[in-house]
């Protein structure tokens, strides 16, 4: 089921999310709904707080190469990485990438991230894993993990770019 996305500057996006303690049907429904919502909005990642649920859960689905225009084929459900209670174990280097966010629709800007990260997390059943990446997945994970701490990527812009963004965003919100 598609849920409503919380749009910047909604205060909920500033709230730190709580650890998931119950790996139950409610969590599984949340994760399934997050996938449906992310696909409907053409996103590659989504944190639970973005659908208004303050839990440390996020999903990422990096599109695969295909001739199909169908997002369900580009981002099959079985390719969805479900990350619960992630902890950053290691981080090194820096990289820059143009990011976007379903809570700030239509805005894209380059921000700095760690190049390589190692993260410990749990799946929807509570099983623990360790993941290492130094590519797109590492960037997406850092973006989504920030959401769990009440942080959003526009806060990483330079002061000038941030001011410009806030001005344009206010104008855009008024026009909605
Ligand atoms: Co985001």
User: pLDDT category, 152, cuts 50, 70, 90?
Assistant: very high
Per-residue model confidence (pLDDT) at position 61: 97
Nearest to 74 by CA among 64, 84, 61, 85: 64
3-class SS of residue 78: helix
Q: How remote is the C-alpha of 69 from its chain's centroid?
A: 22
* Rounded Cα gap, residues 97 and 139, in angstroms: 8
Nearest to 136 by CA among 49, 67, 45: 45
Q: What is the mean pLDDT of residues 158-163?
A: 96
Per-residue model confidence (pLDDT) at position 69: 87
Distance 66 CA to ligand 1 centre (A): 25
1 touches 33 (CB < 8 A): yes
Say whether pLDDT at 128 is over 90.
Answer: yes
43 touches 60 (CB < 8 A): no
Annotated active-site residue in 82, 99, 109, 144 = 144
Q: 11-174 domain in CATH 3.90.45.10?
A: yes
Q: Is 144 among the residues known to form the active site?
A: yes
Distance 35 CA to ligand 1 centre (A): 14
As residues whose CB is below 5 A from the ion ligand 1, the structure lists 101
- Per-residue pLDDT of 72-116, as tens digits, reads 899 999 999 999 999 999 999 999 999 999 999 999 999 999 999
CA distances from 98 to 1, 28, 57, 108 (A): 29, 31, 23, 6
Say whether pLDDT at 176 is over 80.
Answer: no
120 touches 89 (CB < 8 A): yes
**Both tokens assigned to 67:** 């001739």
Distance 70 CA to ligand 1 centre (A): 22
- Per-residue pLDDT of 8-67, as tens digits, reads 999 999 999 999 999 999 999 999 999 999 999 999 999 999 999 999 999 999 999 999
Distance 4 CA to ligand 1 centre (A): 14
Distance 146 CA to ligand 1 centre (A): 8
Domain ranges of the chain: 11-174
Q: What is the mean pLDDT of residues 152-160?
A: 97
Per-residue model confidence (pLDDT) at position 71: 85
């Amino acid at each position: 089921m598609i849920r409503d996305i919380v749009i910047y500057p909604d205060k909920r996006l500033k709230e730190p999310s709580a650890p998931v303690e119950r790996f139950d049907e409610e969590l599984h429904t949340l994760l399934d709904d997050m996938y449906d919502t992310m696909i409907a909005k053409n996103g590659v990642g989504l944190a639970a707080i973005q659908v208004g649920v303050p839990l440390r859960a996020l999903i990422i689905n990096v599109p695969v190469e295909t001739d199909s225009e169908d997002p369900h084929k580009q981002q099959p459900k079985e390719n969805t990485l479900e990350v619960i209670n992630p902890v950053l174990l290691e981080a090194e280097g820096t990289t820059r990438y143009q990011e976007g966010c379903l809570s700030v629709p239509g805005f894209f800007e380059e921000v700095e991230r760690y190049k390589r990260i190692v993260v410990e997390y749990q799946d929807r059943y509570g099983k623990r894993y360790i993941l290492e990446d130094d590519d797109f997945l590492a960037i997406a994970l850092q973006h989504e993990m920030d959401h769990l701490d009440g942080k959003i990527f526009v806060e990483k812009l330079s002061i000038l770019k941030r001011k410009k963004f806030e001005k344009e965003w206010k104008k855009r919100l008024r026009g909605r």
